[in-house]
Amino acid sequence: MTARTAPDETPRDALLACLAVPRWADELAAGAPYASVDVLVEAADRLARTLSADEVETALADHPRIGQRHGGAGRSSAFSASEQAASLTTDEALTERLLAGNRTYEERFGRVFLIRAAGRDRAAIVAQLERRLALDDATEERIVAEQLREIAVLRVRGIADGLVGEAEPER
């Protein structure tokens, strides 16, 4: 346990908050402890590139619409709130474009619009949403998987202390 891991939280639990895909979390947790944060992040990235379409859909269920709060509690909800905080705006026209775009996207693709919000302002998010509405299904599916991977890698950096370091000695 580290300062970044809650007392009752396993590494697997922390990883599931990064990407809600049990296989990914299990395989990544099984590789701990990692020699460094970079090695952990490289493993997280590599494993996230192997997600099946079903696993992507499973992971999407844990992501709220951009501009809305995560419905749950715990680390995943905190990650989401933090990531979306920088994209908040008082620009009503931009907010309306986001809401309308979210609705159109869901009608078009049958899932929530997903984008790595961290490091992006609301205008950039809306621009990407509007651009991606014109994409074909296969291209958009690849972009969604890539966005999930980017989100997972950023989140893994935030919980790395619980997965990096020397193994405990055998007893």
Task: Write down the pTM of the prediction.
Answer: 0.80
Question: Among 158, 26, 40, which residue's Cα sits nearest to residue 10?
Answer: 26
pLDDT band, residue 51 (cuts 50/70/90)? very high
CB 155 within 8 A of CB 26: no
Banded pLDDT at 161 (limits 50, 70, 90): confident
Q: Indicate the domain borders of the chain.
A: 11-162
Whole-angstrom Cα distance, residue 156 to residue 158?
Answer: 5
Task: Enter the tokens of residue 96.
Answer: 């309306």
Residues pairing with 164 in the sheet: 34
Which two three-digit tokens encode residue 110?
């049958």
The CATH class, in words, for 11-162 is mainly alpha
Q: What is the pLDDT of residues 122-160, one digit of tens each?
A: 899 999 999 999 999 999 999 999 999 999 999 999 889
Q: How far apart are CA 70 and CA 63, in angstroms?
A: 7
